[in-house]
Amino acid sequence: MGSAILLLSCPDRVGVVAEVATYIAGVGGNIAHAEQHLSDSDDRFFQRLEIDLEAVAGGLAGFASGFEEVARRLDAEWSLYRSTDRAGLGILVSRQAHCLYDILGRWRIGDLPGEVRVVLSNHPDHRDVARAFGVDFHHLPVTPDTKPQQETRMLEILAGCGVELVVLARYMQILTPTFVDAFPDRIINIHHSMLPAFKGGRPYHQAHERGVKVIGATAHYASADLDDGPIIHQDVTRVSHRDAVSDLVRRGRELENNVLAHAVRAHLEHRVVVTGRRTIVFG
Amino acid sequence: MGSAILLLSCPDRVGVVAEVATYIAGVGGNIAHAEQHLSDSDDRFFQRLEIDLEAVAGGLAGFASGFEEVARRLDAEWSLYRSTDRAGLGILVSRQAHCLYDILGRWRIGDLPGEVRVVLSNHPDHRDVARAFGVDFHHLPVTPDTKPQQETRMLEILAGCGVELVVLARYMQILTPTFVDAFPDRIINIHHSMLPAFKGGRPYHQAHERGVKVIGATAHYASADLDDGPIIHQDVTRVSHRDAVSDLVRRGRELENNVLAHAVRAHLEHRVVVTGRRTIVFG
Amino acid sequence: MGSAILLLSCPDRVGVVAEVATYIAGVGGNIAHAEQHLSDSDDRFFQRLEIDLEAVAGGLAGFASGFEEVARRLDAEWSLYRSTDRAGLGILVSRQAHCLYDILGRWRIGDLPGEVRVVLSNHPDHRDVARAFGVDFHHLPVTPDTKPQQETRMLEILAGCGVELVVLARYMQILTPTFVDAFPDRIINIHHSMLPAFKGGRPYHQAHERGVKVIGATAHYASADLDDGPIIHQDVTRVSHRDAVSDLVRRGRELENNVLAHAVRAHLEHRVVVTGRRTIVFG
Amino acid sequence: MGSAILLLSCPDRVGVVAEVATYIAGVGGNIAHAEQHLSDSDDRFFQRLEIDLEAVAGGLAGFASGFEEVARRLDAEWSLYRSTDRAGLGILVSRQAHCLYDILGRWRIGDLPGEVRVVLSNHPDHRDVARAFGVDFHHLPVTPDTKPQQETRMLEILAGCGVELVVLARYMQILTPTFVDAFPDRIINIHHSMLPAFKGGRPYHQAHERGVKVIGATAHYASADLDDGPIIHQDVTRVSHRDAVSDLVRRGRELENNVLAHAVRAHLEHRVVVTGRRTIVFG
């Protein structure tokens, strides 16, 4: 039934592509798209395949059970997704609403292949809009004292509605390592600057003072060191001396929307693989 | 009190800048920003000034009444706006919601210096979201027979809530000349293609068949010939053979949002002047 | 020895990837990179592989002779290139020198994986620079009467120095079908505009009159209808009312250089496949 | 007579524009273009004017002598340039030739409004090409011991041929403060990275290790701290995991060419003003 996406990585050696492709053809699968990458620094092979499963006996489950042996021979890590599956999304947001509105809008018109399940916020402001888009909203105020309890509560809610990907849509609270570890490579953050330049706070002020001619935004997976996780996507826009800090902030918002949405989509389409401090983002 | 924007055009001759600036200084105004353009093809001078009126006796009205004589001497067309004024916006939309959501979101977070007053649609779908954003919604279905009456009704509603700028947010009905003439250079349309290439219907299909490597979107003022009005803004994104028509359509939506919002903002900031078939968009 | 690039296209069916990969692994080749595309419109499969041949008996020739049978079974068109081979380039140029200088410079510093063999021009102006870069130069003036003879002479020179790719670096003479047919999909032209907009002459004048906010350039294979061949690459740059036609022309030159160089490089790296009126350009 | 460019900066107060414009009109000059900027951080006013001097008695000199009194009243710094003047350029280059070739090519076809007078290099390699473009070449090898003498020699040569702007076209020797001070805000350097990210050596290696998705180049005025001078222009290009360091380096070269040429042109057109650590680049 339908088609599947296979993500695979293993030590490079002669015949990997043949072995995988031969298995697929053997069970009657057809490779609709394929892309691969050989990482020179660690001699590791990465592959993403879109496979038509129409003619495969047992469908996805049948395919997977037979593939286990192939993967063992190749010493491969792999995962398999049904193309039509829609991962559950949870959005964390504070006061600034632009990324929240943007994701809700894109999702509602069908442009994000996931399912927005819940919006969590340390402010009550966005309840009405979330609900107009048909999404549950929880207000979870955070103080230094209540942070651990509230994070526990957040993890419960996210688990309770089957969230697989957490999107930090300008969420201004620093997450504890406990929270981050609960979603390894499954929390996407938007940094309102071109990393690694202007790390930390008030990057648009820094950019203005330095007189840069280009500003950027960076979407990356959250890691213990918040601004240092693997970069998924970046983009820039041209600025000039005529732009006050407030203009940079406003123009940054559009950039943040587009970059975050691009990264979320790439993740949902199973096109992102993390390797060390970097990502491979298949086209 | 506060500041004003003066848009001016007149036949070019020695001393125009001096005459205008001398008047401004004479009444105690300070020029915060100024930009001008000399159109070689018709020897016409265009200027946009942001003027601090703090010290001007009589404020905006006082400034304007004195300026009349200057304008007469220069044979100038001119208009004067309070910087803090927020023009009323009316949005016309059909089924596709991306531009509607995008404008509502930007407006709500304060990124558009106007006031969205009303959403009119020939479909009922967008009522809930419009209202969650605090905007009136009218469902005005259109058939070939009812178009004239419905347009009359639309004009009444737009007038009734003080709309000064009409935004066609993927409104799929062709407007009659009567409607277009009611808002001269005050209807902004988004064309889902890079004009003048791929005019008319299904531009993404045309682009795909031709194998272009870049797609674009164009925001322009509506004119009698719908796709031929003065262009306000354009932008593009890179595409490849991997993009199916549906990918082009989806990627086009993001482009359409950004290009339309850019054009609407430029208009609301009084930075666009139409001259002949072209625009001057001050920076 | 070294590595090879295999370009392949055939009707799509289950097992194509497996069959090709199994052959490669069987002869001891290792697939360093691979990219494939399934054209939905005609159910045709396209693939580009970079193969390490170190361990293949008989090297490239051995690989090729064994592959013939695989290709026959798949009903495939294919070609095989040694990665280190450098195709011979011939440049045709008229008075405007920017593309000529740009290609010579890029080639001399090692940025183009080809070998510039000869420059042919209907003007004598560029002899000194060509020679300083170590390239032969022939002045072949063209009149309506002499065009057939001169084209014959050009074809002789190009053949004589082993030219495989002809670059029209702003060559202002229209080539006859005879000449174009001598280099099928091996003549790259740069069109100083975003095709299909502003076809034909003086595109920057047309763009200026229409008040467009973006200008572009298009590199494409030459075909009988000169501006209608398959597009290889396009790019754009933002312009405004401040740009006179002469500014558009100047800014277009930079665009033309970059777009033409990009297309020539893609061709030389065997990343371009023509299918119908379109190209597939592997990444 | 032709036209002139006036660059002016002074403390902001009511009437500056009027005073300048009134003087210009009074002597019969016509303002063809004007752009101004008010720097909020230090309340300073900056203006660039293109003035038609056809009807001005005494031409440029007449204009200047009368303007002195206006400038004194405004407490202004100012400079005045004939539009047709072509500043002398000196290019410093080491082994890597791409920026050298690019500037020579652009200059020769008339795309840079300056006059390349001399090429100085610590390597002998580029003599032939420089001469084919009609430019003097001096080979000045540098060792730690000979650097002071060679810099003295370089300053003599540059002075001897009337060089007003020094372009560091990938010149890999660090200049002493003595040299830098001899050309205040008149040495343009190209930094092969997006400042302030990846300062210092091997920025493309750093970018690759960090897995960034965008690389950039920065043209700036040289200052004592080499990578910290005022930024004139920046641009970026998109990269991916498929780009090896050598690809980043190659793609960086095209970026460096375009960014450096853009900055040199802006300087030569008198569009750049340095204020503190930043620049104003008029459009």
Verify whether the Cβ–Cβ distance C109 to D98 is below 8 Å.
yes
Which chains, if any, share at least 3 CB pairs under 8 A with chain A? B, C, D
Output the pLDDT for position D155: 98
Q: Rounded to an integer, what distance in angstroms lies between the CA atom of residue C262 and that of residue B214?
A: 14
Interface check B240 vs C, CB under 8 A? yes
* Nearest chain C alpha carbon to D257: C254
Interface check A95 vs C, CB under 8 A? no
Interface check A265 vs B, CB under 8 A? no
Output the pLDDT for position D139: 98
Which chains, if any, share at least 3 CB pairs under 8 A with chain B? A, C, D
Output the pLDDT for position B1: 55
Verify whether the Cβ–Cβ distance A17 to C25 is below 8 Å.
yes
3-state SS track over D48-116: EEEEECCCCCCHHHHHHHHHHHHHHHHCCEEEEEECCCCEEEEEEECCCCHHHHHHHHHHHCCCCCEEE
Interface check B14 vs D, CB under 8 A? yes
Verify whether the Cβ–Cβ distance A235 to D214 is below 8 Å.
yes
- CATH dotted code for D3-82: 3.30.70.260
Q: Rounded to an integer, what distance in angstroms lies between the CA atom of residue C50 and that of residue A278?
A: 24
Chain C residues touching residue B235 (CB < 8 angstroms): 214
Residue A252 DSSP SS3: helix
Output the pLDDT for position B168: 97
Phi-psi region for residue C180, left (φ > 0), alpha (ψ -120 to 50) or beta?
Answer: alpha
* Nearest chain A alpha carbon to D228: A210
**Over pLDDT 70: what percentage of chain B?**
99
* Nearest chain B alpha carbon to A252: B111
Q: Average model confidence (pLDDT) for chain B?
A: 94
Is the fold of A3-82 the same as that of A87-281? no
Chain B residues touching residue A111 (CB < 8 angstroms): 98, 250, 253
B69-80 exposure pattern, b = at least 16 Cβ within 10 A, e = fewer: ebbeebebebeb
Q: What angle, 0 to 180 degrees and rounded to 10, lies between the N-to-C axes of helices D245-268 and D203-210?
A: 120
Output the pLDDT for position A255: 96
CB pairs under 8 A between A and D: 85
Chain A residues touching residue D278 (CB < 8 angstroms): 209-211, 241
Q: What is the ipTM of this complex?
A: 0.93
Which of these, A127, A121, A188, lies nearest to A150 by C-alpha position? A121
The stretch B2-24 carries a mean pLDDT of 95
Smallest Cβ distance to C196: which of B210, B234, B279? B210
Taking 3-state DSSP, the helix, strand and coil percentages for chain B, each rounded to the nearest 5, stand at 35, 30, 35
Interface check B254 vs A, CB under 8 A? yes
Output the pLDDT for position D197: 79
The number of residues making up chain C comes to 283
Chain A residues touching residue B128 (CB < 8 angstroms): 132
Interface check C129 vs D, CB under 8 A? yes
pLDDT at residue B226 greater than cutoff 70 = no
Interface check B243 vs A, CB under 8 A? no
Interface check C51 vs A, CB under 8 A? no
Return the number of other C-beta atoms located less than 10 Å from residue C40's C-beta.
11
The distance of D119 to chain C (nearest Cα, Å) reads 16
**Known catalytic residues of A?**
227
pLDDT tens by residue, D152-178: 999 999 999 999 999 999 999 999 999
pLDDT at residue A1 greater than cutoff 70 = no
Interface check B241 vs A, CB under 8 A? no
Which of these, D198, D186, D193, lies nearest to D268 by C-alpha position? D186
The distance of B63 to chain D (nearest Cα, Å) reads 15
Output the pLDDT for position A181: 95
Q: Rounded to an integer, what distance in angstroms lies between the CA atom of residue C282 and that of residue C35?
A: 7
The stretch D105-110 carries a mean pLDDT of 96
pLDDT at residue D205 greater than cutoff 80 = yes
Q: Rounded to an integer, what distance in angstroms lies between the CA atom of residue B233 and that of residue A190?
A: 27
Whether the CB-CB separation of A74 and A10 falls below 8 Å is answered with yes
pLDDT tens by residue, B52-105: 999 999 999 999 999 999 999 999 999 999 999 999 999 999 999 999 999 999
Interface check B138 vs D, CB under 8 A? no
Output the pLDDT for position B61: 95
Judged by average pLDDT, the poorest of A178-187, B189-198, B209-218 is B189-198
Q: Rounded to an integer, what distance in angstroms lies between the CA atom of residue D193 and that of residue A172?
A: 30
CA D151 to chain CA centroid, nearest Å: 20
Q: Rounded to an integer, what distance in angstroms lies between the CA atom of residue A270 and that of residue A248?
A: 32
pLDDT tens by residue, D53-101: 999 999 999 999 999 999 999 999 999 999 999 999 999 999 999 999 9
The number of residues making up chain B comes to 283
**Residue A4 belongs to what H/E stretch?**
strand A3-11
Which chains, if any, share at least 3 CB pairs under 8 A with chain D? A, B, C
Which of these, C136, C89, C80, lies nearest to C111 by C-alpha position? C89
Q: Rounded to an integer, what distance in angstroms lies between the CA atom of residue D55 and that of residue D22?
A: 15
Chain C residues touching residue B197 (CB < 8 angstroms): 194-197
Which of these, A261, A245, A248, A191, lies nearest to A214 by C-alpha position? A248
D233-258 exposure pattern, b = at least 16 Cβ within 10 A, e = fewer: bbbbeebebbbeeeebbbbbbbbbbb
Q: Rounded to two decimals, what is the model's pTM?
A: 0.95
Chain B residues touching residue D14 (CB < 8 angstroms): 25, 28-30, 55
* Nearest chain A alpha carbon to C14: A30
**Over pLDDT 90: what percentage of chain A?**
87
What are the structural domain ranges in chain D?
3-82, 87-281
Is the dihedral angle over the CA atoms D219, D225, D228, D229 positive or is it negative? Answer: negative
Verify whether the Cβ–Cβ distance D277 to A234 is below 8 Å.
no
Q: Average model confidence (pLDDT) for chain A?
A: 94
DSSP-derived pairing of the beta strands D114-121 and D136-139:
parallel
Residue B152 DSSP SS3: helix
Q: Rounded to an integer, what distance in angstroms lies between the CA atom of residue C278 and that of residue C232?
A: 8
Interface check D28 vs B, CB under 8 A? yes
Query: Is the bond preceding residue A124 a cis peptide, omega within 30 degrees?
Result: no
Whether the CB-CB separation of A267 and A165 falls below 8 Å is answered with yes
Output the pLDDT for position D226: 67
CATH topology of domain C87-281: Rossmann fold (3.40.50)
Chain A residues touching residue D209 (CB < 8 angstroms): 277-278
The distance of B239 to chain D (nearest Cα, Å) reads 13
Interface check B63 vs C, CB under 8 A? no
* Nearest chain B alpha carbon to A99: B105
Verify whether the Cβ–Cβ distance B30 to D14 is below 8 Å.
yes
Residues of chain C with pLDDT under 70: 1, 226
Output the pLDDT for position C198: 78
Whether the CB-CB separation of A34 and A47 falls below 8 Å is answered with yes
Longest dimension (CA), chain C: 64
Q: Rounded to an integer, what distance in angstroms lies between the CA atom of residue D263 and that of residue D219?
A: 6
Output the pLDDT for position D225: 74
Q: Looking at the DSSP assignment, which residues form a beta bridge with residue A51?
A: A4, A31
Chain C residues touching residue B241 (CB < 8 angstroms): 37, 39, 278-281
pLDDT tens by residue, B259-272: 999 999 999 999 99
Query: Is the bond preceding residue B141 a cis peptide, omega within 30 degrees?
Result: no
pLDDT tens by residue, A207-220: 888 899 999 999 99
As a dihedral over the C-alpha atoms of residue A265, residue A266, residue A271, residue A275, rounded to 10 degrees, the angle is: -140
How far lies B120's CA from each of B40, B151, C230, D54, in Å? Answer: 41, 11, 43, 56
Smallest Cβ distance to B234: which of C213, C234, C244? C213
Q: Rounded to an integer, what distance in angstroms lies between the CA atom of residue C254 and that of residue D255?
A: 11
Burial class (CB in 10 A: 0-12, 13-18, 19+), B156: exposed
pLDDT tens by residue, A77-113: 999 999 999 999 999 999 999 999 999 999 999 999 9
Output the pLDDT for position B199: 75
Which amino acid, D219?
Answer: A
Smallest Cβ distance to D250: which of C108, C111, C129? C111
Q: Rounded to an integer, what distance in angstroms lies between the CA atom of residue C176 and that of residue B163?
A: 59
Output the pLDDT for position C63: 97
Interface check C109 vs D, CB under 8 A? yes
pLDDT at residue D1 greater than cutoff 60 = no
Q: Average model confidence (pLDDT) for chain D?
A: 94
Q: Looking at the DSSP assignment, which residues form a beta bridge with residue D116?
A: D89
Verify whether the Cβ–Cβ distance B17 to D21 is below 8 Å.
yes
pLDDT tens by residue, D239-266: 999 999 999 999 999 999 999 999 999 9
CA C268 to chain CA centroid, nearest Å: 7
Catalytic residue among B12, B52, B185, B227: B227
The stretch B202-210 carries a mean pLDDT of 88
pLDDT tens by residue, B116-172: 999 999 999 999 999 999 999 999 999 989 999 999 999 999 999 999 999 999 999
Please calculate the CA angle C42-C46-C47 and round it to the nearest 5 degrees. 170
